[in-house]
Structure 1
Amino acid sequence: MPFPTSSELIFSEQANHNFSRTLGDLKRSALSIQNRLRSIEHDAAFAQRVADAYNRPLIANERCGSWYIDPKIKGGSAYFKSTDGHTGVWKFSSRRLNMHLLETIGQHDGCIIIDSTRRGKRMPDALSKTIPIWCSVLNRYLFPAEPSYHELYTPPQVVSKSEHAQISALLPSFVLALQSLKLPLENLRNHISKPLRPIWVTPESDLTPSSAIFGDFHPFICCTVSRRVVGGEVSGGGYIQGAGDDTENWVHGLTPPVFWANKEHLLSTSESDLPELIEELVSQSLCMSATTAPGLRLVLPTSALFVGTISDSLGMDTAPNACSITLQPKVTDQSTWQTSPTRMEAGLGSSKLGSRSLRLALPVLMTFVADSMKRSKTASPKRIVIACESGKDLAIGAALAILCLFFDGQGSLVEGQEGTASIDKAFIRSRLGWISTSMPDTNPSRATLQSVNSFLMGRPR
């Protein structure tokens, strides 16, 4: 008797349901918190081997990269986005300049940037295209008289010849965009003596310590820490590629510093108890961080404009020649904003609501700054402090508007607002470059920057 064909087989509806449920259970088991944390630990060990082989500082490409570096040995952070390297939409970002890396690169003759990507990909676009674009643009900008430094380098196993050629054709326009920011060229050039060149390392690479000597260029070592897994979630045998990527879906508030400070405890806890333990550890961390705020940060080249979190600004000096503006996450009536001649607490709301509210609030905030400057009867430098909940979004937007209206090209305060005839998108980007260079970890949302652009460019001329 012949065997039945697949079309002749009939499964009950209950059997199909059980089969689907079994597959779902297997997937959830494979993607458990415990497996994710152990995968991160596994990949972090590879990052350490790369550091030992090349003897250069580990730089985390945020946010993913920080999961794979023990904070005790972390050499810094960078902000190269994969979206800036996506096929057909390549760009050199004026919001994420990463110029602070030049000092580290010069001091250590290069650096190692750590990143990862999820299942199926060989390496993230940030490492294969965004960083190569950045290196080539910086080489052209810093060494314009050295054409041999200007070549674009991309990994041939990831980037096709056609895509490489298309990116190369755009590089001159990217250099012009960078030049329009009018950054302090000599200061940047003083950090490095050779061109930058990306080198790619994956778990499949041969880590030979002797290869750590480079004579003609500063190596920008792009390290993808996760090994490539092809197939479904259960095909990795418990290993999850890119476990530190897209952590919002499973992390329960856990952050890289909390993970590293409590790694052994977390890895020895059962899956069922992990969510409760993570919430407890995160709560403890928040209490500690509230008492150890990083402090206000100065926007260079000014000597008067400071940005920080709301907690950073509490208790600050409010002398007659100073003013402070805090942008509160709770919406409040405009009539209550100004609490003293030197202090304003504007309740704009948080997230997208706050970004939209900022556009309507900026005229009030700028008038407050202008009035504060008029009241000052001393020749000593004025102090302007802008704060928001994170210190990295709404406060950056308000600070950007102040830079455009109250500071000249050398970073000095001007009496009264500057003429606005010259304020266009290029001018605004150049002032944003000051902020990006001074505070590379800031990340103002697109909505916030759109509100600032709309306010500045819509003012009467």
Structure 2
Amino acid sequence: MEEVIVHQETHLQPLQNPRPSSMAEETASMSIYRASRTIKRRQSSLYNSLRSIHEDSIFVSEIAQLWPELPLVANLRCGLWYAKKFHSNCYFKSTDGHTNNLSFNTSRLNLHVAILAGQKGGCMIVDSTRKGKRFPDSMSKTIPIWTCVLNRAIQKYRNKINTPIDELSSSSSQWDSSLHLPLWVPDTEKSRIESNINKWVNQLEESGADISSISSLLKKPLRPLWISQKTVIWLNEVPDYNSWDFTPIILISSSASNDIYRQKTSSEFSWSYIAGAGDDEESWARGLTPLLFWNNVYDLINSGPDLCNQKVADFVEKDRVYRAQRGHNAPQISIKPTKMEIKSSSHFQDQSLEIIMENGDSGHLIYWLGLTNLAVCATGYEFKAFDVDCVLNCDQNKDLCTLEDSKAHLHLPIMNSKFDRFSLQRNLPSALHFAKLHLKRGKRLAVCCNNGEDISVCVCLAILISLFNVEGVYDDGKSFKETQITKLDMRQRLIFVCKYAVNARPSRGNLKQVFNFLVGATY
């Protein structure tokens, strides 16, 4: 199932009879970069994006049906658009696989993916790319690095406890811990990655990650396989994944190469294909979420380019009113055109990512962090249903608490580090005082923010380090006062949080604020 890369030369032809349009006049005074961006935005209309996503989703569905027993996982955020239902999601960043930034990031371990693969015998991960590549760097390098590091860490762990590999693997007497990269990664880069693997294994061990649990679940080593729209698969010879001597991580790149097709025409209207259309949703989606798209997909696709924008606006507003009436997070969507009045450019805040799980529930769940009486979640819940005693609301919206006792609710409107570099740091003293007041009484505290993925995770991290010992037992801050917090301590506690809150995606700016606060905290 190897990818065959076809290199084609392209020759730029001069434009024939260029018309003196207003676009030419507009771009005359622009730099080449700005002009190209302007043209690209005009082509990337909302309808073109949604139609391209729908077209690519058909391919994803076909591949998913080849191995229906394997769970389908979306790589946030782009991958969420390409299927109606996902078993779970993950967060492998392409930047971790960039040539000059190769890394194994312990803030994004995605250990739940390895556990899921061990339980189900493998999994499929969906993503896409805009950049003319067949696969994003997250699939070409980030995930292969991840599988290799985990395999070697498991092998090292089993050697340490003197457990023969063949006792744990019924189908393979040898544990493959070698680096598996796709053919298009050059040998020089492969050598550079290989030279860092053992260092990354040590970092994984130092982080305190639960290697033993993964080792007990994985009977075969992890190994990536790559499938794109140019992959040739003989349907009468689809292999049984149980017959492989490894646990497959099947990487599905939903994007079609631009040389497959660019302009599409239906019986009613034509549209332009956009590779990786689901990426950078803030710039085109106009408040539409993957869940809302798939709930109305045929209505949107059949509306055509002329009516699509209005259809989306209607669905987004209807959904906002529906959630607002039920006390859920429902910010007003604002569309902000550029100076050139490019209507397809949009800006909106507080859009939450949603995912449809196999049980039909929204991916917005409440995650209890072990036995700490501390939970991470998104705003807008009937907290009584989750046996919550008190709520620390870090959302901008203060009217999302459903607890009757006002003393059991604290609202701290913390802004993201992109908008205020010190907002979280300023509010942490109040957050810790509130948490200490209730946790010492054995109360169950839920910390929530807009999406339950960033600010609330960072607040919980600060609470865990400040009020709990390394075993996760509440000690009223005794262990915190006796030790000097290091970045390694931060990393280890964050991995503990991510073990339970699998949707956690704390930003670097917010984590930096937590560390700066803890290093200088006096209370």
The interval holding the TM-score normalised by the smaller chain is 0.7 to 0.9
Secondary structure of the structure 1 residue equivalent to 2:394: strand
Query: In the alignment, is the contact (CA less than 8 A) between 1:298 and 1:306 conserved in 2?
Result: yes
Please say if residues 323 and 342 of structure 1, whose CA atoms lie closer than 8 Å, have aligned partners that are also in contact: yes
Q: Following superposition of structure 1 onto structure 2, how do residues 401-412 of structure 1 map, counting pairs within 5 Å?
A: 401-412=462-473
| Bigger mean CA offset, 355-364 vs 112-121 | 355-364
The one-letter amino acid paired with 1:77 is: N
* Residue pair 2:467, 2:480 contacting (<8 A) in 1 also: no
- Corresponding residue to 2:500 among 438, 444, 450: 438
Pairwise CA distance, 1:392: 2.1
Q: Once the two structures are superposed, what CA deviation does each residue of 1:26-74 show, in whole Å capped at 9, x if it has no partner?
A: 9677533333222212211111111122332221111111111122xx2
Unaligned regions of 5+ residues in structure 2, if any?
A: 1-15, 28-35, 160-164, 166-173, 266-270, 329-361, 399-404
Q: Report matched runs for 1:156-195 at 5 Å.
A: 156-157=183-184, 159-195=185-221
- Contact 1:304 / 1:384 at 8 angstroms: preserved in 2? yes
State the superposition RMSD in angstroms.
Answer: 3.4
Structure 1: distance between partners of 2:427 and 2:41: 46
SS of 1:152's partner is coil
Q: Which moved more, 1:125-134 or 1:34-43?
A: 34-43
Q: Which residue of 2 aligns with 1:226?
A: 255
- Residue 347, structure 1, aligned to residue 361, structure 2: no
Amino acid in the other structure paired with 2:519: M
- 2:520 and 2:372 map into 1 onto residues whose CA distance is 28
SS of corresponding position for 1:45: helix
Amino acid at match of 1:362: L
SS, match of residue 100 in structure 2: coil
What is the aligned partner in structure 1 of residue 396 from structure 2?
329
In the other structure, the counterpart of 2:98 is: 86
| Counterparts of 1:31 and 1:41, CA distance in 2 | 15
- Residue 137 (structure 2) pairs with residue 110 (structure 1): no
1:237-256 counterparts in 2 under 5 A?
Answer: 238-256=272-290
Tell me by how many angstroms 1:117 deviates. Answer: 0.5
SS at match of 2:288: coil
Amino acid at match of 2:209: L
User: How far 1:198 moved relative to its partner?
Assistant: 0.5
Where 1:370 maps in the other structure, the secondary structure is helix
Alignment partner of 2:302 out of 253, 268, 284: 268
- Partner residue, 2:429: 363
Identity of matched residues, %:
31
Rounded Cα–Cα distance in structure 2 between residues aligned with 1:384 and 1:123: 42
2:46 to 33, 52, 67: 33
Shift of 1:365: 2.5
Give the 3 Å change call, closer, same or farther, for CA 199–266 of structure 1 in structure 2.
same
Cα displacement (A) at 1:264 = 0.9
Shift of the alpha carbon at 1:300?
2.9
In 1, the alpha carbon distance for the partners of 2:23 and 2:372 equals: 66
Q: Is the 8 A contact 1:229 1:235 kept in 2?
A: no
Does the Cα contact within 8 Å between 1:84 and 1:90 map onto a contact in 2?
yes
Residue 343 of structure 2 corresponds to which residue in structure 1?
A: none
Farther-moved stretch of structure 1 (29-38 vs 216-225): 29-38
Contact kept? 1:296, 1:313, Cα under 8 Å: no
TM-score scaled by length of structure 1: 0.84
Assess if the C-alpha contact under 8 Å between 1:203 and 1:226 holds in 2: yes
Cα shift at 1:343: 3.6
Q: 1:268 to 1:233 in 2, by over 3 A?
A: closer
How far apart are the structure 2 equivalents of 1:178 and 1:313? 37
State whether residues 31 and 233 of structure 1, in contact with CA within 8 Å, keep that contact through their aligned partners in structure 2.
no
Where structure 1 has 5 or more consecutive residues not aligned to the other structure, the ranges are: 1-10, 332-338
Amino acid corresponding to residue 34 of structure 1 in structure 2 = Y
SS at match of 1:434: helix
Q: What SS does the corresponding residue of 2:238 show, helix, strand or coil?
A: helix
Aligned-partner Cα distance in 1 for 2:154–2:72: 24
Distance 1:180 1:366, change over 3 A: same
Retained in 2: the 8 A contact 1:96–1:440?
A: no
Q: Is the 8 A contact 1:310 1:388 kept in 2?
A: yes
Q: Deviations over 1:378-402 (max 9, x none)?
A: xxx4322222233222211110011
Q: Partner of 2:233: helix, strand, or coil?
A: coil
Separation (CA, whole Å) in 1 of partners of 2:291 and 2:437: 43
| Distance (Å, rounded) in 1 between the aligned partners of 2:22 and 2:439 | 72
CA contact (8 A) 1:54 1:211 kept: no
**Structure showing greater Rg:** 1
In the alignment, the residues of structure 1 paired with residue 317 and residue 58 of structure 2 have an alpha-carbon distance, to the nearest angstrom, of 28
Q: Deviations over 1:311-337 (max 9, x none)?
A: 237668999xx5532224279xxxxxx
Deviation of 1:239 (Å): 2.1
Correspondence for 1:140: 152
Normalised to the residue count of structure 2, the TM-score between the two structures is 0.74
- The separation in 2 between residues aligned to 1:330 and 1:201, in whole angstroms, is 43
Structure-2 change in CA distance of 1:119 and 1:173 (3 Å):
closer
Q: Compared with structure 1, are the counterparts of its residues 256 and 346 closer, same or farther at alpha carbon in structure 2 (3 Å cutoff)? A: closer
1:231 Cα offset (Å): 11
Aligned counterparts, 1:252-401, within 5 A:
252-289=286-323, 291=326, 297-312=366-381, 323-329=390-396, 342-349=408-415, 352-353=418-419, 356-373=422-439, 376=441, 381-401=442-462
Shift of 1:265: 0.5
Q: Does 1:202 align with 2:206?
A: no
Q: Counterpart of 1:205 in 2: which secondary structure?
A: coil
Is residue 61–residue 78 contact of structure 1 (8 Å, CA) maintained in 2? yes
Question: In the alignment, which residue of structure 2 is the partner of 1:336?
Answer: none
Structure 1 residues 371, 173: closer, same or farther in 2, change over 3 A? same
Q: Number of residues paired by the alignment?
A: 433
Q: Residue 97 of structure 1 contacts residue 440 of structure 1 at CA under 8 Å; is this kept in 2?
A: no
